[in-house]
């Protein structure tokens, strides 16, 4: 998610107006509006200050991106698939449903 979406989401989830968030973060409402519209990009420190003023914490994680134009080596491709599989629940249906054959 881009900074604009993070700020807008935090503000809306906190139920704050542009003015209220700007005041809490120590900046103007027009600056918050510019960030939300993507006209200006805040620094990481400013983004963190705004998100904290809305009552949230900024959290980041790194994930390997797969570029279809540059295939991964076989081992790395398998590792990426296994990492993706961990994101899905490991619950399986207790019975195997299949169509009737040979009637």
- pLDDT tens column, 12-25: 999 999 999 999 99
CATH superfamily of 3-53: lambda repressor-like DNA-binding domains (1.10.260.40)
By the 10 Å C-beta count (0-12 exposed, 13-18 middle, 19+ buried), 32 is classed as buried
88 vs 30, more confident: 30
H helix intervals, the chain? 3-14, 18-25, 29-37, 44-53, 74-85
Q: What is the pTM for the complete model shown? A: 0.61
Domain spans in the chain, listed from the N-terminal domain onward: 3-53
- pLDDT tens column, 33-42: 999 999 999 9
Radius of gyration, alpha carbons of the chain = 22
- pLDDT tens column, 55-103: 999 988 877 666 777 776 778 878 888 888 887 777 777 777 778 887 6
């Amino acid at each position: 998610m881009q900074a604009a979406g993070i700020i807008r989401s935090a503000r809306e989830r906190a139920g704050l107006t542009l003015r209220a968030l700007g005041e809490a973060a120590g900046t103007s409402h027009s600056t918050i509006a510019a960030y939300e519209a993507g006209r200006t990009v805040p620094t990481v420190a400013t983004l963190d200050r705004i998100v904290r003023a809305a009552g949230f914490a900024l959290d980041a994680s790194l994930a390997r991106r797969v570029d279809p134009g540059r295939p991964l080596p076989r081992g790395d491709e398998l590792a990426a698939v296994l990492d993706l599989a961990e994101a899905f629940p490991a619950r399986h249906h207790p019975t195997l449903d299949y169509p009737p054959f040979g009637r």
